[in-house]
Amino acid sequence: MAAQPRQLVFELPHRSALGAEDFLVSPANTAAVGIIDSWPDWPHGGALVVGPVGCGKSHLANVWCFKSDAANTSASKLDDGSIERLQASGAMVVEDLDRGIKDERVLFHLLNLGRQEKSCILLTSRVAPGALQVSLPDLRSRLRALPVSFIEPPDENLLQALLVKLFEDRQIKVEPSIIGYLSHRMERSMEGANAVVEAIDRLALETHRRVTRPLAHSVLTRLGMSKD
């Protein structure tokens, strides 16, 4: 009888998101987690979390929404109703500043409410404030004055832990050696980890094969991530 795959254990704390998901904490995202932990003691009434796509910005925003009972919107949907929602809830997440701000005047008003009325605004973006396309000078200045925390690409330990979690979510047992093989060759991002696990799951189901090194290599090659 073949031996059962061994389980990898990582000394990484887990954070609940909306009571359902786990958020893995590592040096790559400690600063951003610290911003969430420091609420409601935000001196400027707001904070900005910056990181690449799929790095966990929205996950952290969900954690904060759960803690603060905040309203949630995207920068591309900001309108006068957003001001009313902040005034009603006292907290708001505004995501994806880099994808365009529908009404800069509204965002400036929201940030002013955060400073003047003890409301709180959590913003997310893929780029730092100085790289945002903002026309309103006062808004540009206000964004640059906010505390900014960056989420870096996942380190080796976080990437391996993420792969294990994603496979477990799909009820797939994978040998530690395969996890190491993947993490040393794949794109170092959370978006890449999701793509790899999804592709491996699909190929394993299609071919009725276990997750082996040749199968993993085949997936990495198809995704253009193999370093072999």
Structure-block tokens of residue 156: 């080796």
- Domain ranges, ordered by start, for the chain: 16-149, 153-222
CATH superfamily membership of 16-149: P-loop containing nucleotide triphosphate hydrolases (3.40.50.300)
> What percent of the chain has pLDDT above 70?
89
Alpha-carbon gap, residue 99 to 79, rounded angstroms = 16
Torsion of CA 58, 64, 65, 67, to 10 degrees: 150
| Helices assigned H by DSSP within 71-189 | 80-89, 104-116, 137-145, 156-169, 176-185
Mention the CATH class of domain 153-222.
mainly alpha
Alpha-carbon gap, residue 10 to 200, rounded angstroms = 22
Structure-block tokens of residue 185: 């060759």
pLDDT of residue 19: 38
121-134 residue pLDDT tens: 999 999 999 999 99
Answer yes or no: are the C-beta atoms of 164 and 10 closer than 8 Å: yes
List the beta bridge partners of residue 93.
Answer: 72, 122
pLDDT of residue 76: 96
Instruction: Render each residue's pLDDT in the chain as its tens digit; 228 residues.
Output: 455 454 454 555 545 433 335 678 888 889 999 999 899 888 888 999 999 887 888 888 988 998 899 999 999 999 999 999 999 999 999 999 999 999 999 999 999 998 887 789 999 999 999 999 999 999 999 999 999 999 988 888 889 998 998 999 899 989 999 999 999 999 888 888 989 999 999 999 999 999 999 999 999 999 998 765
pLDDT of residue 217: 95
